[in-house]
Amino acid sequence: MPMPLWWGQINKRVFNPRSARNGKWQVIRHVGRVSGQTYRTPLEAHRVDDGLIIMLVYGSRCDWVQNVLAAGTAQLEIEGETVDLVAPEVISAEQAFALRPVGLKRPPKLLRIDEFLKMRRADDAQQ
């Protein structure tokens, strides 16, 4: 069981706007399923051979993940560049750990993170 969704609602309104501005985290830009508004959500993403994996601290039911899954695309601000992403897929922690880059540690067991989002770079998907 990941972090409770109610904590994610607090984070979304209080901490995420600050985190997205300060540049410490990668930021995913996604479009709301209902509002059509563009949102920016800070997160932790890691490059893998065929795209990126993103730790789902609140699980796959949180709003931003549902927005990305519905749209099938997103943009990620990572290491000073904006990357277009496609083909979102929720994968298990074990699948993600098999893909993870050398040296990347697993999240603390206390967080109980059991889902990740895998996406491909749009420019790689077109090849």
Least confident of 53-57, 60-64, 89-93, 102-106: 102-106
Q: What is the pLDDT of residues 33-86, one digit of tens each?
A: 999 999 989 888 988 988 999 989 888 998 999 999 999 999 999 888 899 999
If one compares 110 and 92, the residue with the highest pLDDT of the two is: 92
Is 90 exceeded by the pLDDT of residue 124? no
CATH number assigned to the domain comprising residue 16:
2.30.110.10
DSSP state letters, 10-61: HIIIIIHHHHHHHSSSEEEEEE-TTT--EEEEEE-EEEETTEEEEE-TT-TT
Average pLDDT over residues 112-117: 89
What is the share, in percent, of the chain residues with pLDDT greater than 70?
A: 75
Count of domains for the chain: 1
Question: Is the separation of the CB atoms in 88 and 119 below 8 Å?
Answer: yes
In which element (H, E) is residue 118 found?
A: strand 115-121
Nearest CA to 91 out of 46, 27, 31 is that of 46
Domain ranges, residue 80: 5-125
